[in-house]
Amino acid sequence: MIYLASPYTHADPTVRQQRFEAACRAAAALISRGQVVFCPVAHGHPICAWGVPHTWSFWQQHDQRHLESCDEVVVLMLDGWRESVGVQAEIAIARRLGKPVTFLQAEENPGAKPGLKGGGRWH
């Protein structure tokens, strides 16, 4: 199972929505290629609409359990992934657990059908 890590938390709710949509596009592309994917942003974003915090400190325990169950971590390189406290923590946890970490370019066209830049090559 792939754990699809991507930045989410941002002060601007529009940015959070854009990140949610990008993560769902990438998850859809991976799933359509036969991969089994857990995408914490796709899971958590709708739940946050009910008053649950959207911060890494809140979701850390939940996401760590999923990281323990996954076979690998794929980092969706959206703007802000390097600065994201959550993404950097997910990478550190994966490495500590001995899970492979790969990096994936995001589709640049937000209106595109599910896809991955570069034909889905992982960088």
Residue 19 near residue 108, CB atoms below 8 Å: no
Give the span between the Cα atoms of 68 and 75, in whole angstroms: 16
Q: Where are the domains of the chain?
A: 2-120
Q: How far is CA 47 from the centre of its chain?
A: 16
Render pLDDT for 27-78 as a digit per residue (tens, 0 to 9).
999 999 999 999 999 988 888 889 888 788 887 888 899 999 999 999 999 9
pLDDT tens by residue, 82-91: 999 999 999 9
Mean pLDDT of 1-18: 94
Q: Model-level pTM greater than 0.95?
A: no
User: 76, 104 in Cβ contact below 8 A?
Assistant: yes
Q: What confidence score (pLDDT) does residue 54 get?
A: 77
Beta bridge partners of 104: 76, 122
Q: Tokens 């490495």 correspond to what residue? A: 95
Residues 84 and 76: beta-carbon distance below 8 Å = no
The topology under which CATH files domain 2-120 is Rossmann fold (3.40.50)
- pLDDT category of residue 116 using cuts at 50, 70 and 90: low
